[in-house]
Amino acid sequence: MKKASDVRKIISYLPEEAGIYPRLTGLEYLKFMANLYAKDRGEVEEMVNEGLKIASLGDKIREKTATYSKGMKRRLLIARALMVRPKLAILDEPTSGLDVLHAYHVRRIIKEYVKQQGLTVILSSHNMLEVDFLCDRVALIHDGQIVVEGSPHALKETYEAKNLEEVFAKVTGHG
């Protein structure tokens, strides 16, 4: 990892408990992030526009993030992680603690963005329905070990399960 900052250019990481600078507006936050990734002003503008589209926060984007709900903050964070067009995005529990509508919005963004931009996402989640909906390949981890991996469809077929939750239970000997 001699050129850590170069590696960071192509990776975008969203920690589970990530926060946002509360005294910046949503727009200022996106601009701050874009300025650190983009090479020139034009690229900054493109990234910010992309971020605005992903976050879809309307006029709220011009208000300080301290006034945002948890769901709005998460939408902004997802926008920040994806707008910089990383080769790899690592999203840790992207919808944890969100209400149904915000969680739905976030999942839809991830799904659409991956399809449009062709980026790779490593997503960690406890929500097996979310994993089923979003992921092409799944690795189930139990006690810190990968116990099984494959596509959601193949796993369900192999374990004759209706969903990934059942697969997990069977693999770990609880089903």
Q: Which is nearer to another protein, 20 or 57 (CB)?
A: 20
Task: Say if CB 167 and CB 156 are below 8 A apart.
Answer: yes
Q: Does 133 bind another protein (CB under 8 A)?
A: no
Task: Say if CB 86 and CB 35 are below 8 A apart.
Answer: no
Task: State the nearest-atom distance from the C-beta of 52 to another protein, in Å.
Answer: 19
Task: Say if CB 58 and CB 80 are below 8 A apart.
Answer: no
Q: How far is CA 90 from CA 8, 11, 120, in A?
A: 12, 8, 9
Would you give the binding string for another protein spanning residues 75-114, x where CB under 8 A is met?
----------------------------------------
Exactly one of 27, 30, 33, 135 binds another protein (CB under 8 A); which one? 33
Q: Does 30 bind another protein (CB under 8 A)?
A: no
Would you tell me which residues interact with another protein (CB under 8 A)? 5-6, 8-9, 11-15, 17-24, 28, 32-33, 35-37, 64
